Structure 1
Amino acid sequence: MSRTAFAFLMAGIAGVVLIAMVVAWRARVRREPAVQGLGAAPTGAVIVNFPKASYVSTTPVGAPFERAVIPGLQYKGYAALTVQRDGVTIEVTGEDPVHIPSENVVGSTTAGGRIGKVVERDGLSLLVWRAESSGTEPRELESSFRFSNPGEQQTFAEAIEKMSNNTTQEDA
């Protein structure tokens, strides 16, 4: 086989693989229940702002290798992450911002890996939240972030706890 024929063969295989990936992703988007209940931008006092956190993925709780398809949270990249008294805003570069009301936030935890990234033990921060889906019961999701240092990771956990405590006090 000549080099030219081999190059065309490899380009054809790569093209078929890319087309299959696009078709599979679109099928996944169609199967995924639409997320509802993501509110308007929070207006409360800012607890903490991370202008450049690394957003990894959003997955269902208990399924760390199954990416949830949510507009604004589909692709990994850098994100501006803001925790306010009445909610959390995640703005991944190039995507529309996602606003999660504080009543939908369950808490935060850590993990060593999620789809798209494996790091040291407890190296990822997880925002655990509840999303209303069309036609189904609410489901819990985990959005994962990688911060540049453990201090930021601790600050994030404390901010989520502070926001959650504020919501609990308002409900009482």
Structure 2
Amino acid sequence: MNAHIPTHSAPRPTTSIDQPDFVALRPASGDEHLLRLYCMPPAGMSAPYFQAFTSYLPPAVSLLALQLPGRGRATGTPVHTDLHRLGQLLAERIDQDDDGHPYAVFGHSVGALIAYETVTCLTRQGRRPPTLLALSAMAAPHHPDFTVRAPDVLLGGR
């Protein structure tokens, strides 16, 4: 089983625990992956929230789960409260991994807000968007319930 997840030829800089990053919960098996799946957990949860998903994925799918500061091994570090800035950081991180293969972004609950903002930032910055953006347990951004369910602190005062 090959545990390597292909990235750009340049090495990815190591992030510290006070920065958001993705944890590889399940690298693709075989010589090459076909799809990289980025998962954003709900509020208060960390990357292992998605561990149960790994047994349901085909071998060519790698799962990378978001690990935010203030969660898991980064407990006690300052949390991000500006959704737009967080989206920019994650868009940059996803772009670093872009090897031309399809990728998908999934977010659940508050993770759906983060996923949506991340993909919005990717698009706004002219970077390659995901093949699929899947969101669950959150109202669509154009729906009136969106602003009710998305606290101002997460929206950066928008």
Q: TM-score, normalised by structure 1?
A: 0.28
Which of these two proteins has the greater Rg computed from alpha carbons?
1
Q: TM-score, normalised by structure 2?
A: 0.30
The answer to which structure has the higher strand fraction is: 1
